Amino acid sequence: MKLHSEKQYQWRWAWLAFLPVAVLRAGTLAESDTFWQVRTGLLTLFLGRLPSVDTLSWTAYGKPWTLNSWGFDVLLAYAYRLGDLAAVAVLGSALVMLVAAIVLVAAKRAGATPFASAATLLLMSPALIGWFSVRPQLVDYVFVPTLLLLLRPALKGKRRVAALIGMALVSIVWVNLHAAAALGVAVVGIAGVASLVGRRLTMRSLAGALAPAGACLAGTLLNPQGAGLWGQNLGVRSSSVSVVTEWQPIDITDAAQLFMLSLAIVALVVAVKRKDWLDAGALAALVFASGIAIRFLPIADLASIPLLASALSSEGLRTYAAGRRILFRGGAIALVGAFTVVAAPSILHLGEPDPRFYPAESIAALPSGCRLFNDYRVGGLVILQRPDVPVSLDSRNDLYGADTVTEAQRILGGQGSVAALERRGVDCVLVQATTKLAQQLGQAPGWSRVSAAPGAQLFVRQPSAP
């Protein structure tokens, strides 16, 4: 009993060791998605229903708009009502800690030690922290490992029916928080089929292997769009792949991406060597998905941690570490201490929009009701803080379409003309000072620079003389 209690204590410390990473991530909000999703959640609560058309921009005003994360947006809205953007950031940190908890539970199930699990998670955190922004993807990081935890008992064992019901319920919650729940169906399906390797293949065994994917599929259909969810996912990808880096195929010349991919491949090799075909199938599916779009890399790495931690918990390595206990414990304390020192200042500015990209002064100076032309990133914060100023663009790529986003980038690059903006009725512009458009506006007659705050400059068109 005492040994069991001591191990539980160690697992709690393994989880708490990740807290500085979650706090560090909460220090600033850097994703445009977060801000317009808060506004969307507030709008949903105000209307008492899901918005069906866009009312936040002038370029797509009245165009049909389907939310792909309505539940997550409402959660953000409640947090925002409770404590502004600081509470939104804290909610994000809570989800990050939930991700860590699920991963550690999976590592424990895989036979890993608390120390090896915490060390693996912490050592991988520099590659993962950039992906822990307050976005619906956070729930993807929670639910993929959760489904994999339920998958093994769902394939065999006395609690199979309960596990299948659990997978369906998880999918229902996931799909109403984020439409990416369709990913779970694919991963679970491939892993289930992979679990048949080395076994006699029959219709009955195949049906049993695909039953978890069927449970997940049934769960994903219980959303406001029904089966239309699948078409929406394809539409989001097609409208984003040419303009958003995370939707593009992996770039092996990028050191960070290559490192993350390598970790997932190492974990896949571990699974294959152990003939753990279920985990091998899941990781193979996630590695393949990461090759198509790098936004799946963090999910692949989170699914890899339990296997990597269990490999580091082998008897030989345990014996080696036992003889150097002081060295390893000292190193662990130093690592957690370093993260804590770096993260501590973040508490003083929780949820602050990153000032490098989001100019509070310039946004506050926007004339009410002006027709704004803005760059891609800043649009989300304008939607949140100045709903009286319709934007020209934000990160809702599936609403605007790739052509609109590409055209905006062309104008920002100076390939358009100030006169073309004026013909569209644009009378205020909020763009980065380094863009060609900002340089053109600085010399254009009839335009004045109202704010030159760091992050973006505001230009306002002066009324023509009568």
Answer yes or no: are the C-beta atoms of 350 and 26 closer than 8 Å.
Answer: yes
435 pLDDT more than 60: yes
Q: What is the mean pLDDT of residues 224-252?
A: 80
Say how many CA atoms lie within 13 Å of 236 toward its Cβ. 20
10 by Cβ neighbours in 10 Å (0-12 / 13-18 / 19+) ranks as: middle
Residue closest to 389 by CA, chosen among 405, 408, 422, 366 = 366
* SS3 assignment for 179-239: HHHHHHHHHHHHHHHHCCCCCCCCHHHHHHHHHHHHHHHHHHCCCCCCCHHHHHHHHHHHH
Question: What pLDDT score was predicted for residue 316?
Answer: 67
Question: Which tokens hold the place of 371?
Answer: 């027709």
For range 433-455, the mean pLDDT = 88
316 vs 300, which has greater pLDDT? 300
**Per-residue pLDDT tens over the stretch 30-50:** 899 999 999 999 999 999 999
Give residue-wise pLDDT tens across range 330-371.
777 787 888 888 888 999 999 999 888 888 889 999 999 999
Q: Which pLDDT score is estimated for 3?
A: 45
| pTM score | 0.93
- Residue 293's nearest CA partner among 240, 217, 220, 229 is 240
Distance CA 265, CA 269 (A): 6
pLDDT of residue 415: 82
Q: How confident is the model at residue 381 (pLDDT cuts 50, 70, 90)?
A: very high
**CA-to-CA distance for 10 and 53, rounded, in angstroms?**
51
Give the number of C-alpha atoms closer than 13 A to the C-alpha of residue 287, restricted to the C-beta side: 20
Please tell me the total number of residues recorded for the chain in this structure: 466
In the prediction, which pLDDT does 1 show? 44
Q: By mean pLDDT, which of 89-103, 179-193, 343-357 is the weakest?
A: 343-357
In the chain, the amino acid numbered 75 is L
Confidence at residue 466, expressed as pLDDT on a 0 to 100 scale: 41
188-216 mean pLDDT: 94
- CA 356/CA 228 separation, integer angstroms: 38
Residue 247: what pLDDT? Answer: 85
User: What confidence score (pLDDT) does residue 465 get?
Assistant: 41
How do 28-29 and 352-353 pair as beta strands?
Answer: parallel
Structure tokens at 459: 């230009």
Count of Cβ atoms closer than 10 Å to residue 158 Cβ? 8
Region 274-290: mean pLDDT is 96
pLDDT band at 2 (very low <50, low <70, confident <90, very high): very low
What is the spatial distance between Cα 225 and Cα 260, in angstroms, rounded to a whole number? 34
Find the Cα–Cα–Cα–Cα dihedral 153, 156, 159, 162, rounded to 10°: 70
Q: How far apart are CA 340 and CA 125, in angstroms?
A: 13
Cite the beta strand spans of 249-376 per DSSP E.
352-353, 372-374
Stretch 381-396: mean pLDDT: 95
The answer to whether residue 403 scores a pLDDT higher than 60 is yes
Which alpha helices (DSSP H) does 129-159 contain, by range?
137-155
Using one digit for the tens of pLDDT, what is the confidence trace for 447-461? 999 988 777 899 999
Question: Residue 280's pLDDT is what?
Answer: 97
Residues 56-74: what's their mean pLDDT? Answer: 95
Percent of the chain's residues with pLDDT above 90: 67
For the segment 435-450, the average pLDDT, to the nearest whole number, is 91
The answer on pLDDT for 237 being more than 90 is no
The DSSP call for residue 64 is B
**What Å distances lie between residue 291 and 4, 127, 251, 314, CA to CA?**
42, 17, 9, 30
pLDDT value, residue 131: 95
Q: What is the mean pLDDT of residues 143-149?
A: 97
Q: Any idea which residue has 């953007």 for tokens? A: 85
* Pair of tokens at residue 110: 């895989």
The average confidence (pLDDT) of the chain is 90
Closest CA to 110 of 316, 318, 307, 314: 307
